[in-house]
Every structure is written in structure tokens, then in C-alpha cells.
Amino acid sequence: MSAEPASGWATKQELRAFSDAVAPEIVELLDTSGLALPRRVHQYAKTAARSFSFTREVKLSEVVSVVAFLAVYGEHERLFALARTVAHVPHTGNETVYEPARLIVHTGYYFAGQQANDAVTAELAPYRFVPADFWRPPGYLAGEHLRRQFELAPDEAAKYASHPVWYHAGISAGDLPVLASMHVCGGSSTWPLERIDAQVAKTIAAVHAYRGFEPPAGP
């Protein structure tokens, strides 16, 4: 199935039909009960699965969050399965709806590359740039969308001191899809690929350090 029909954008009806057919697969993949994840991440997955639809940006964004945490805890096979399934979503020209799908694909592609999983990278490669002329703007590649919550200056960090731990963990993990997308698009002079790789490792370690988000010992 092509990510974009030869004639141009998909129609809303085609997106809705795709969602009706494929959403049950996403819901099944969001059943994380057999994975070694923190309790709150299981809750995030349940929330994302509830009334999931490819037509709703908020639901796709919830899946992005789950995908980020799957990367944090090394649940790559589930991450790859989600990315392979989401990759086929038709693009109607609505970037608000498609952007979360793109982040999921980029995250899957990046971590498949890190795992030297050639089969997954080959499958996702055609969906990295949809539409064909897609590219991240310079500001994005310069890191403007990164939050870097665990690296805030003391005066800035003080503004978030009263926020719960899960907030900090979620914001930190949320940088991973952005970093992955920056990497897929070649990085920049300020964020070359090596720096992106290093920041991914630092981000994962930072999430693990938050109370309640330590890597679980088992399912």
C-alpha cells in the first residue's frame, strides 16, 4: 500500500476507511501487558488504545508518546511493529494529523538503524519523506523542538519544580521522536548525527533516573 496515491492527496473518506480497517491492529499492538514497562507507561498505552482512530491527531500523538517510551525501555520489536503499521496511513494533506504518524515512522527507522535491523529500515525507508519533497526546516534540525527537560538551567528548572515526576519523564522521553526525526533528515551543523546519537543515549538514561521510571526487572 502506498503512503500517498499517485494522483495526489488521499481523501478524508480514504483515511477513514484505512482507520476502520487498521485501527484494530494498533489497539492490539498497544496492549503492553506482556512488556516490561513502568506502570504509568502501561497506562499511557491503554489511554492511547481507547477509541483510537487515525483521523484524530490527539490519538496519534498519544501513540507517539507510547513509542517514545518503548524506545526508552528497549521494546524495539513492538516499536517497529507500530511504525510498520502506521507507515501506511494515507496523507490527506493535513499536516496536523500526519505529523504524529511521521514521527512514529522516523522513530522506528532511527532505532532500527541503531539495532542494525536492515529488514525494518528497508520497509520503512519509502515512508521517511511523505510527501516526496518533505524536509525539516533549519530551525527544527537545529534543535528548536527539543525540550531537554533534564538539562535546564537551574533558574529555568525551578519553574517546573512542583510538577510531578511523570511530567518530567514524559517531556524528556518526548524528545526521542524529535531527535530521531532530526537524524533521519540529516541533522545540522549544531546537531550533527553523532551529537544526536549521544543525546538519545543521555535522554534514555535521564528517563530511567526518574523515580518510578526505572527499568522494570520483568513484565
Least confident segment among 5-9, 111-115, 138-142, 211-215: 5-9
Closest CA to 41 of 163, 218, 217, 212: 212
pLDDT of 134 strictly over 60: yes
User: What SS3 class is residue 130?
Assistant: coil
pTM of the model: 0.93
pLDDT band at 3 (very low <50, low <70, confident <90, very high): very low
pLDDT of 15 strictly over 70: yes
Q: What is the pLDDT of residues 23-35, one digit of tens each?
A: 999 999 999 999 9
Mean pLDDT on 38-57: 97
Q: Dig out the grid coordinates for 115 from the structure.
A: 539495532
Please tell me the predicted confidence (pLDDT) of residue 19. 98
> What sign has the CA pseudo-torsion 98, 102, 105, 111?
negative
Please tell me the predicted confidence (pLDDT) of residue 218. 52
Higher pLDDT, 30 or 97: 30
Mean pLDDT on 138-157: 90
Q: Cell 484494530 identifies what position?
A: 24
Please tell me the predicted confidence (pLDDT) of residue 106. 98
Task: Compute the distance between CA of residue 168 and CA of residue 166 in angstroms, rounded to an integer.
Answer: 5
Q: Dig out the grid coordinates for 207 from the structure.
A: 528517563
Mean pLDDT on 206-217: 93
Please tell me the predicted confidence (pLDDT) of residue 2. 38
Burial class (CB in 10 A: 0-12, 13-18, 19+), 26: buried
pLDDT band at 95 (very low <50, low <70, confident <90, very high): very high
Is omega for the bond preceding 131 within 30 degrees of 0, making it cis?
yes
